[in-house]
A and B are shown apart, each in its own frame.
Chain A
């Protein structure tokens, strides 16, 4: 992963973008080829791996665990809600810069951004109000087992195996696929009287729940402002020329679920509004295509399982 770029190379990229042609032959609004695979790690409740041609490789796992509910002592809020806890880690093997504490800042920045877009809990951004249904779309109340006591906690962990630009988009696509793939065992709650409850986790492969509201999860589109233009899906070198990045999180209905500027540059107000619009339309189109592929994969896995054939996976670092 280079960290410096020569003025000549920068100039080449800049002028190319001005003429709407990029070094790899793409136009400003073109994505690279994306490879997506679900159910790749057997130990998880749901997992996905996203690879963007010629670069980023991300593995996302969702693990569902049972834990105590988190209640706000002041408002009593959160007693009937499950939790989602996000974390993004850049593997030291992905780049020389990630060894030791080198990736700390990046990890923290990405994790906080993902928490803000995905969950509306109090730790992510001050107190996103109790009236807010959450930008993440996931129905947290369905994750509650015994109100005031036990709930499902979804740990969403992303591991960056290779870094080739446009990390955030890849991660969010992967998270959507992994949550779609997540299977949570059903529970049976027994009322023992006088406020006492007991529950049992059903240990049957057929008795599973999917995550409610998974279709309403946002994905994000990163727009890179280079010169007076903006591009999507930037490569590593293009990211080095980027003045300012705008991450736009959009859901299926076209609602904006989060916005964040990155990098040390500024954006004119008119360009900012244009970028939000572009992000919104591109995001909606991407969600549509992504959902079709995810459903296709889930169905083909199911038919294979019913026929008794093993579902073949590409595995990691596959081309």
Chain B
């Protein structure tokens, strides 16, 4: 435990929130998406800006409504760690940190295994684009801070997008920009009466809360119909997902730099979602382009 900090309480209890009388929690059976504006194939609007961190060689800030991340790039600089084996290629070192207040549950200040893995995933997603062979014996450090997270998949995807824009902003030689995109597989099919009654019988044993019955109902429905692909799902939608995919893609080179899928899915669903994600990445690419061009314009004005 870190003794220099005041630790949060060991046990936490969800606050008692009084919902208004007409409040209804979103479910996939609703006709619209959680924020009621989007179509399944729509992403949230992206705000992307470079150069917000003054001390970094390159930086970017990205916002997809409630998903907010800041990214700073330092380097290329000499490798700090001694005793590392010599390699003719530079090292791309990524570190992602969720701020302790960024998620529904409070996260610890110490790097947890999930953050360590994500950092690795990020460097694997970005490395194909960066010309590391040009900078032997040096390292590029990419630090990403998640300020607010609304959906795990969208957070990873946004981190990839922001990091590659920050790398470009730092003037590091790259082959292409990497855009990240996420999608969730969610069962939206309305239920037949028969499956409903069966599943209620199943859970009728000891603790039958309303959420419990809901669970089994959707579980029985999954077998029949292919799930709907929701692009860029938010936290509320992710609660109902059967699986999710995060894709990192270089639009001009037409190459996939990373793919991460979890949960069960048919291969047809996967190929479909890969295509949807690539399409979305092309759109994100335009936003990234725009942000970078804007940063050049600002530099000119400053001169």
Contacts and interface: CB of A to CB of B under 8 A. Distances in A.
B261 A74 contact: no
Given A73-B14, A129-B238, A277-B267, A147 B207 contact: yes
B68 interface: no
Given A108-B113, A126-B153, A262-B124, A273 B262 contact: no
Contact of A125 (B152, B242, B270): B152
A182 B43 CA distance: 45
A203 interface: no
Contacts of A131: 187, 214-215, 218-219, 222, 240-242
B120 A105 contact: yes
Interface string A46-86: 00000000000000000000000000011111011000000
B12 A129 contact: no
B21 interface: no
Contact of B259 (A4, A77, A261): A261
Contacts of B124: 261-264
A269 B117 contact: no
**Could you say which interface size class chain A belongs to?**
35 or more
Interface in A164-223: none
B136 interface: no
Contacts of B207: 79-80, 147-148
Determine chain B's interface SS by DSSP, over half rule.
Answer: mixed
A132 B243 contact: yes
Contact of B260 (A123, A133, A260): A260
Given A131-B218, A132-B243, A256 B266 contact: yes
Interface in A258-299: 258-269, 272-273, 276-277, 280
Contact of A3 (B85, B128, B245): B85
Contacts of B206: 80, 147
B242 A260 contact: no
Interface residues of B, number: 64
Interface in A130-144: 130-135
A126 B257 CA distance: 22
Interface string A221-242: 0000000000000000000000
Contacts of B254: 268-269
A256 B128 contact: no
Nearest to A272: B256
Given A76-B209, A132-B263, A260-B260, A265 B270 contact: no
Contact of B265 (A73, A256, A266): A256
Interface of B: 12-14, 85, 87, 92, 104, 113-114, 116-117, 120, 123-124, 127-129, 132, 151-153, 187, 205-207, 209, 211-212, 214-215, 218-219, 222, 235, 238-245, 249-250, 253-267, 270-271, 274-275, 278
Q: 8 shortest A-B CB distances, which residue pairs?
A: A126-B152, A264-B127, A259-B261, A266-B128, A266-B255, A112-B117, A131-B218, A266-B257
Interface of A: 3-4, 73-77, 79-80, 105, 108-109, 111-112, 116-117, 120, 123-135, 147-148, 244, 246, 251, 254-269, 272-273, 276-277, 280
Given A120-B263, A264-B128, A269-B249, 18 more contacts: A73-B13, A76-B209, A126-B152, A126-B238, A127-B235, A129-B239, A129-B240, A133-B264, A134-B264, A135-B243, A256-B267, A258-B262, A259-B261, A263-B124, A265-B127, A266-B257, A268-B256, A276-B267
